[in-house]
Every structure is written in C-alpha cells, then in structure tokens.
Amino acid sequence: MEDTELREKVAHLEEREKSNTHRIDNLEEKVEDIHELASSTKLLASEVKAMREDVSDMNSRLKTLEEKPLREYEDTKKQVKSHVISYITNIILAIAVARIRNIKIFVKKKGEVRT
C-alpha cells in the first residue's frame, strides 16, 4: 500500500470515528433521557397509588356521609308513624271514654239499674 492510500484510509477511519463518537454521544443523551423518564414514571406510579388510596378513603367517608341523612330520614319516618298511631289511638280511646261517661247509670237503693 502506498502512503497516499494509507492516509486516505486513516482519514476515512478518523471521519468514521468522529461520526461514531457523535452517534454514541447522542445515544448516551437518549439513554439518560430514558432513565429520567423511567424514574419519573416510577415516581408517578407511586403518587398514583397514594392518590388511589386517598380516593378510596374519601369514597368510604362520602358513603358514610350519604348514608347518614338516609338513616336520619328513616328514623324520622318511624317517629312520625309512631306519633300518628299514638294520636289516632288516643282519639279512639277519648271517644270510647266519652261514650262510656255519657251512659248514666242510676242505682236505686234497692239495687235496680236504670239507663
């Protein structure tokens, strides 16, 4: 091989080395970006897990809050029914007592009963 051929090959190899070095540098940057993305994804996953637990806790507390008015409504309904039944029962008893009092019984000295 002649000196010029060797110089051309060396120059070609040097250019190829520069090109490969540039490509490796780009790949290293991309690998670093991918590593950062993986770390961010891992952090995001743990945050989502914590958020899911918080939402689950809020759901259970919301369910309790939603059930409370329903329980109070049911209790109030029972009390109203009880009061209405007591009121009607009292009216019926008052009418019965009034009728009994209106029956006048006179007892004579000899034990006869007159109405």
**Each residue's pLDDT tens digit, 29-82:** 999 999 999 999 999 999 999 999 999 999 999 988 888 888 888 899 999 999
Q: What is the pTM of this model?
A: 0.45
Question: Cα 71 vs. chain centroid, distance in angstroms?
Answer: 19
What pLDDT does 109 receive? 43
Which residues are 114's β-sheet partners?
106
Distances (CA, A) of 5 to 14, 16, 18, 26: 14, 16, 20, 31
Domain count, the chain: 1
Dist. CA 92–CA 85, nearest whole Å: 11
Question: Cα 56 vs. chain centroid, distance in angstroms?
Answer: 5
Domain that holds residue 77: 3-114
Main-chain phi, psi angles of 113, to 5 degrees: -115, 130
Q: What is the mean pLDDT of residues 81-92?
A: 94
